[in-house]
Amino acid sequence: MKKIVVVMLCLATISVCSWLFLERVNLLDIPSNKNDFYANIEKQKIDERIDIHSCEKSILKREIDLIRRKEKELSQIAWQTQVCTQIVIGLQVILLLFIFLNNSDRNLRKEKK
């Protein structure tokens, strides 16, 4: 009975961690150099505009920098979350293996007797 509860808790933990892992994939900033390049292109387009004042240009550039900084911070948090969930999933799989191997060893001992 205790083993069934432990197995169910392990499976629930694995499923929650897998969901969390997949949920955070969208927040990863994998092509960061490419995204930085696009941000620089946007800044250049702002510089080329003559219909806005230099103060407005600097404000728009700062907004672009702020957005990029927030995206990088979210990406770091998502990466750390994914590493932690992978560790937890690995530990749960090892625990399940020990439970099943321990159970099969007992069955083999009973058959030998």
Residue ranges covered by each domain of the chain: 2-112
48 vs 98: CA distance, rounded Å:
65
pTM, full prediction: 0.73
Give Cα separations from 40 to 3, 52, 59, 71 (angstroms).
57, 18, 15, 15
The predicted-structure confidence for 44-83, as pLDDT tens digits, reads as follows: 999 898 898 889 999 999 999 999 999 999 999 999 999 9
Question: Whole-number mean pLDDT of the chain?
Answer: 88
